[in-house]
Amino acid sequence: MMNAKSFGRVIESREEMEEALSTYIARLGEKLRQQESLAARITVFLHTNGFDTSAEQYSNEFTVELPHATAFTPTLIKHALAALHAIYHKGYRYKRVGVMLGKITPLPGVQLDLFGELSPSEYERQARFMYIVDALNRIMGPGTLTFAIQGTKHRWGMHQAWLSPHYTSRWDELLTIQ
């Protein structure tokens, strides 16, 4: 499972990079829960703009093996940010960041560790919390509830001025004949 997009403009600050990565990993966590799965590996990668020959180039990736498979967004964000901090270097003009989840396991196939870091009761608490977040976002619209690290402005977002109309999938863009 992967989420990676090019930014609408280059990013030079670590804070904006963290915001974008957190937004991407939160969406992947939501997809994991929708398909009733958990992930145990996170790979974060970033790139500068390879087409800008005047800028110094850099790309790297870092993989984190999670102590236990999870779909709990705060845990996914924490480990993704740790991976980002391992490969991020100040002074570059980044054009893309992405995250990939691996070791995906179906939820019914996961056995919890009775004496480990994640007890069954803690796992249930996390699952209930994420169920509430997902339900509110489904009812009130995407992005209603987000985590603070995701930010609100998203100035790094993709340029979408030339999107095709959604005549068949959005009521507000339904073609009308006068």
* pLDDT for position 106: 92
What mean pLDDT do residues 119-133 have? 87
Q: Could you report the per-residue pLDDT of 37-79, keeping only the tens digit for each?
A: 999 999 999 999 989 888 899 999 999 999 889 999 999 999 9
pLDDT at 154: 65
CA 151/CA 15 separation, integer angstroms: 10
Contacts of 52 (CB under 8 A, 6+ apart): 93, 95
Q: What percentage of the chain reaches a pLDDT higher than 90?
A: 54
Read off the DSSP letter of residue 142. T
Measured CA distances, 122 to 32, 72, 77, 84, 174 (Å): 18, 11, 18, 27, 46
Residue 86's pLDDT band, with cuts at 50, 70 and 90, is very high
pTM here? Answer: 0.82
Mean pLDDT in the chain?
87
Is the separation of the CB atoms in 46 and 96 below 8 Å?
Answer: yes
Number of helices (H), then strands (E), belonging to the chain: the values are: 3, 5
Say whether pLDDT at 155 is over 90. Answer: no
Please, where are the H alpha helices in the chain? 14-34, 73-87, 120-140
What pLDDT does residue 121 have?
Answer: 80
- Average pLDDT for residues 80-102, to the nearest whole number? 95
How far apart are the C-alpha atoms of 109 and 8, rounded to whole Å?
40
Taking the C-alpha atoms of residue 79 and residue 73, their distance in angstroms, rounded to an integer, is 10
Token digits of residue 131: 């169920």
Ordered by where they begin, the domains of the chain are: 2-173 (3.30.1490.100)
Average pLDDT over residues 139-152: 82
